[in-house]
Structure 1
Amino acid sequence: MSEQKLSDNERLKRESNFLRGTIETDLSDQITGGFTADNFQLIRFHGMYQQDDRDIRAERAKQKLEPLHNVMLRARMPGGVITPTQWLAIDKFAEAHTLYGSIRLTTRQTFQFHGVLKPNIKLMHQTLNQIGIDSIATAGDVNRNVLCTTNPVESELHQEAYEWAKKISEHLLPKTRAYAEIWLDGEKLETTDEEPILGSTYLPRKFKTTVVIPPQNDVDVHANDLNFVAIAEEGKLVGFNVLVGGGLAMTHGDKSTYPRRADDFGFVPLEKTLDVAAAVVTTQRDWGNRSNRKNAKTKYTLDRVGSDVFKAEVEKRAGIAFAPSRPYEFTDRGDRIGWVEGIDGKHHLALFIENGRLLDYPGKPLKTGVAEIAKIHQGDFRMTANQNLIVAGVPTAEKARIEKIARDHGLIDDGVSEQRKNSMACVSLPTCPLAMAEAERFLPSFVTDVEQILEKHGLPKDDNIILRITGCPNGCGRAMLAEIGLVGKAPGRYNFHLGGNRNGTRVPKMYRENITVDQILEDIDQLVARWANEREDGEGFGDFTIRAGIIAPVEVSKRDFYA
């Protein structure tokens, strides 16, 4: 590795003065609405991506105008918990200072602002800081927002797991003062910034971590570099099974890239959690590929050096020996939409938010509805990794009042099908610069088509297929853990993947490449007809496609995915 030329991102990080670069100079440049040179990449470490509205890009070019540059900000919210007071503040900012006026709940269990123009960027960070939120390390080559299973029922266990998600997030954060200096007008000191965990050039590539509470796999552990599977005894957390090396991103046409399941390293007691987290991160920091960013994620490091070798190094650095994994099982990964009662007697209302997009639509003022709930709610909100929102900790006396607000604003719709609840898409067009095909804007109508196919073949109303769509192969919509996964290839064309399972433990395999929506629906129609007629009792669609020999299972990603 040392003989290979490093990627230019390594130079960029090395010369950035611990992520400062010349971002402040760019902020004061009124000639362009964007960030230039290295700063275009560096702002990602501060939680932002530069984007533009691709729907109007060509028209602006005709007018001799640069693209309508703006930023998308992703907040750092470990475990997705947010207070009503915080919610009202982000709602107000989105309404007043973004191009689209929306709040988007993401698969990373947090919220995003889309369409923030350069003059409002510092105000955005300072507004968040005033309510105890930041966007440090939610993008870039660092450990990103730590997910935690949203479990409103077993409240005590969830609280313990959530606290560990926060501790892990804080432990792995960058230590540089750059964020405070640039965005919060922090005092600028002659400093010797040190990054004892992340290193002076940070990680080779992005790194994702979760805390998951079986039997729910709502965080999709196999999409992440590092996962802590909560093991409880008599309702109390005693430690974690540690899963390493999951990831879904790939590159079209490059067979050196592939989705991969995480490997189970074993069990560790609670007191060793942070040591193990740091050991996995530092091993990937030192051993990851810094020459080819397409092969820089942890999953490729494990396959290159061997999982056993990587595990032994983690044990050495953490000063532990993994014990055999404790038994656990994943049975589901969807959110339980509607009311559930927790063991503490409090009630929790999970609201289905299609695509996670909170906006006031004609006849469905969703964003206003959540704000109205926030004005009276005394508990908290929990954003889920499935792009939904839970109103948590509602006393019995407040249930009716909150439900009425939700229904009046279209946040509860009894007619939403199980299929729609179990379908998901990334943002894609018009704002994502990587998008090759539609995803968020395409999903609603496509789900309607799939619903009609299920009804046509007599499937029960409570049956569904885990369906996910991404506009490119980078994995944000987690299509590579779906029973049907569509991956954008070109406008109106997708790669069609089959064979994932309901609990998210199997990667699907490409069934047909670069086909139109009409071709996909024709295939789904034929496949669902067979599923309806040939399925075994309770057999999910993905499991059926494997058993019936329609698609081969992906047992080992590198070997089987392209076979």
Structure 2
Amino acid sequence: MVINAKPKNRKPSKVEKIKESSNFLREPLATELLEDTTHFSEQAIQVLKFHGSYQQDNRDNRVKGQEKDYQMMLRTRSPGGYIPPQLYLALDRLSEEYGNQTLRVTTRQAFQMHGILKKDLKTVIATVNRNLGSTLGACGDLNRNLMVPPAPYKNRPEYQYAWEYADKIVSLLAPQTGAYYEIWLDGEKIVTGEEDPEVKAARQRQSNGMLIEDGEEPIYGTNYLPKKFKIAVTVPGDNSIDVYTHDISFVILTNEAGELEGFNVLAGGGMGRTHNKEETFARISDRIGYVAKEDVYELIKAIVATQRDYGDRVTRRHARMKYLINDWGVEKFKAKVESYFGKAISPYKPLPEWKYHDYLGWHEQGDGKLFFGLSVENGRIKDEGDFQLKTALREIIQQFNIPLRLTANHNIIFYEIEPAHKQAIQQILAQKGVVTQPEAIDPLLRYSMACPALPLCGLAVTESERILPSILERIRALLNKLDMAEDKMVIRMTGCPNGCARPYMAELGLVGSAPDAYQVWLGGTPDQTKLARPYVQKMNVKDLESFLEPLFLYYKSDRLFQESFGEFCNRVGFEALRKSQEI
């Protein structure tokens, strides 16, 4: 079977050749790992991504004529953000011994550790695996970390089904190559539980050309997918996971007795784009249809096979599935998926309106226990002066041995908490200077997100995580000046157009376009159901207040009752917004 349906007379990209010659993600990574060097070659870097790591260099430490300050970023694969207490304590310890003394919660419910040296990478990855974690498939051209609402409701079966199927889908699409265990664990495959027989059978079941015959990777083949692939599972109405931004989103549908019947399916979302390349763009997903629970694995394989065989393997910036659907149209895409699936996909079923939930504060879990959502500014877990978040988390988990769920807004949820332990947990956080009351957090901060950007991300053209706190302070001061102290809006920032913090769904998105300058995107909504649009291509950060003040005044004077800033921008239109700035 042909893995790529590549156009005639067009050569596959260099990355395609690297994947094909890697012997299922082994070389040249395995050889270079043994070499006494500070960094990997470009070929090994591409393979390393599949193992959960990116090579970076600290751009703050660059000195002309000297070697770059090379270090590795390691990302966990944590379906639904699940972090058992043993794993958290191991990550905390590893970040102190081998990293930059911080951890970062990502916007896809995983942990990132920065600052690892090449010589220590094997030790760190092996330790993660021996403490109930993994990094396999956290990066690379395959299914990435799968997102799920983090709320641990024990009395709401749809949430339990979402967690269950997140784990099953991750297992279905996990790389089958033995490379990961050979390289990092000397061939030892740490098994934390038996794989679901239903999932294993589904992976092995051949039908309508969905599987690649022979080889280690029956679903992916030697070339894996054309680009990264992202999946989410949620429940009706819960948009805590930015449902429209994934390659595939599944919505749990149950009957009146709470029993799982099937899934609504959306496909074709994605945030990444490239400046000044109009053929790249952010896109929200389309409704594909409904699938019964007994057919869900076959439909997943059919969608993945369609992207595997027809996604663009020549031009990487055009390789995500969103471009395939955009180029073909939904009906052609759906017809091709059905040809692999072997039958028609049923119509999409009605759903309630989507609402964003961050689950901060204390909540009943539904079985007598509690869960607690903790806001983490920009997802960065650190100790800094009197603010001792990292120490507080370590003490809580050591003392109470409770698991975590990471959220899509880079926050943390503790759960399985005995009510008798609530006061002690509150006290530990308060003593370490950590705010525990959601209402005490400025809404601009509470609903904001930023990517890490400088100094470590090689794609960043300007600041994001390090500058967003000051940006929010300036916007808050401006709102206060305009007698709009009660106003709130969703603000997201990235240091480049790749969109890791999903700025294109924000009411106010700031996307790095040059040093100290940002594209401004307007028109996303608080429930993350509408794609924002580019308003200006370059705003210097020093002009923030003068740029925003007329927009905010216009919003204050002409908004409808309870109309959000993003909704207002969409209603009046960009022409009217620009006129307001000319006055």
TM-score bracket for the superposition, by shorter chain length:
over 0.9
Cα deviation 1:337-375 (Å, max 9, x = unaligned): 211223333211100000100011110111111111101
Name the residue aligned to 1:121. 121
Residue 2 (structure 1) aligned to one of 5, 8, 26: 8
Q: Percent identity?
A: 40
Residue 35 (structure 1) aligned to one of 33, 40, 45: 40
SS where residue 314 of structure 1 aligns? helix
Residue 28 (structure 2) aligned to one of 16, 22, 46: 22
Q: Conserved in 1, the CA contact under 8 Å of 2:426 and 2:436?
A: no
TM-score by length of 2: 0.90
Q: Evaluate the alpha carbon distance shift between residue 162 and residue 311 of structure 1 in structure 2; reply closer, same or farther with a 3 A threshold.
A: same
1:401 is displaced (CA, Å) by 1.1
- 2:105 aligned with 1:105: yes
Name the residue aligned to 1:159. 160
Name the residue aligned to 1:526. 550
Aligned AA (2:503): A
Q: Evaluate the alpha carbon distance shift between residue 478 and residue 36 of structure 1 in structure 2; reply closer, same or farther with a 3 A threshold.
A: same
CA distance in 2, matches of 1:467, 1:551: 22
CA distance in 2, matches of 1:451, 1:377: 37
Cα deviation 1:244-277 (Å, max 9, x = unaligned): 0001111111111111110101111222221111
Please give the residue correspondences for 1:137-536 in structure 2 after superposition, counting only pairs within 5 Å.
137-153=137-153, 155-186=156-187, 193-234=215-256, 235-414=258-437, 415-459=440-484, 461=486, 463-536=487-560
SS where residue 182 of structure 1 aligns? helix
Cα deviation 1:311-351 (Å, max 9, x = unaligned): 12222322342222222234432413211223333211100
Q: Conserved in 2, the CA contact under 8 Å of 1:493 and 1:515?
A: yes
Cα deviation 1:364-402 (Å, max 9, x = unaligned): 111111111101234421100110000112121111111
Aligned AA (1:298): M
Aligned AA (1:72): M
Q: Conserved in 1, the CA contact under 8 Å of 2:254 and 2:262?
A: yes
CA distance in 2, matches of 1:370, 1:277: 37
Q: Conserved in 2, the CA contact under 8 Å of 1:177 and 1:193?
A: no
CA distance in 2, matches of 1:356, 1:256: 32
Of 544-553 and 72-81, more deviation after overlay is shown by: 544-553
Q: Conserved in 2, the CA contact under 8 Å of 1:174 and 1:195?
A: yes
Q: Conserved in 2, the CA contact under 8 Å of 1:330 and 1:503?
A: no
Q: Conserved in 2, the CA contact under 8 Å of 1:353 and 1:411?
A: no
SS where residue 42 of structure 2 aligns? coil
Number of corresponding residues? 543
Q: Conserved in 1, the CA contact under 8 Å of 2:374 and 2:436?
A: no
CA distance in 2, matches of 1:37, 1:94: 26
SS where residue 419 of structure 1 aligns? helix
1:57 is displaced (CA, Å) by 0.9
Name the residue aligned to 2:52. 47
1:187 is displaced (CA, Å) by 7.0
Aligned AA (2:216): E
1:174 is displaced (CA, Å) by 1.2
Aligned AA (1:159): Q
CA distance in 1, matches of 2:430, 2:11: 58
Q: Conserved in 2, the CA contact under 8 Å of 1:351 and 1:411?
A: no
Residue 549 (structure 1) aligned to one of 561, 566, 573: 573
CA distance in 2, matches of 1:413, 1:526: 35
SS where residue 55 of structure 1 aligns? helix
CA distance in 2, matches of 1:338, 1:4: 54
CA distance in 2, matches of 1:137, 1:2: 31
SS where residue 148 of structure 1 aligns? coil
CA distance in 2, matches of 1:24, 1:552: 58
Cα deviation 1:450-489 (Å, max 9, x = unaligned): 112222333353x411100010011101001111111101
Q: Conserved in 2, the CA contact under 8 Å of 1:223 and 1:246?
A: yes
Aligned AA (2:448): S
CA distance in 1, matches of 2:372, 2:188: 43
TM-score by length of 1: 0.93
- 2:99 aligned with 1:75: no
Q: Conserved in 1, the CA contact under 8 Å of 2:403 and 2:416?
A: yes
Structure 1: 5+ residue stretches without partners: 554-563
1:518 is displaced (CA, Å) by 2.9
Q: Conserved in 1, the CA contact under 8 Å of 2:476 and 2:485?
A: no
Of 254-263 and 302-311, more deviation after overlay is shown by: 302-311
Q: Conserved in 2, the CA contact under 8 Å of 1:496 and 1:520?
A: no
SS where residue 54 of structure 2 aligns? strand
SS where residue 211 of structure 1 aligns? strand
Structure 2: 5+ residue stretches without partners: 1-6, 190-213, 578-583
Q: Conserved in 1, the CA contact under 8 Å of 2:158 and 2:253?
A: no
Name the residue aligned to 1:93. 94
SS where residue 135 of structure 2 aligns? coil
Runs of 4+ in 1 over 6 A off after TM superposition: none
Aligned AA (1:142): L
SS where residue 262 of structure 2 aligns? strand
Aligned AA (1:245): G
Aligned AA (2:419): T
Q: Conserved in 2, the CA contact under 8 Å of 1:84 and 1:377?
A: no
Q: Conserved in 2, the CA contact under 8 Å of 1:214 and 1:328?
A: yes
Q: Conserved in 1, the CA contact under 8 Å of 2:236 and 2:251?
A: yes
Q: Conserved in 1, the CA contact under 8 Å of 2:84 and 2:132?
A: no
Aligned AA (2:549): D
Q: Evaluate the alpha carbon distance shift between residue 148 and residue 453 of structure 1 in structure 2; reply closer, same or farther with a 3 A threshold.
A: same
Q: Evaluate the alpha carbon distance shift between residue 193 and residue 122 of structure 1 in structure 2; reply closer, same or farther with a 3 A threshold.
A: farther
CA distance in 2, matches of 1:301, 1:101: 41
SS where residue 50 of structure 1 aligns? strand
Name the residue aligned to 1:538. 562
Residue 62 (structure 2) aligned to one of 47, 57, 60: 57
SS where residue 495 of structure 1 aligns? strand
Q: Conserved in 1, the CA contact under 8 Å of 2:215 and 2:221?
A: no
Q: Conserved in 2, the CA contact under 8 Å of 1:458 and 1:532?
A: no
Aligned AA (2:420): A
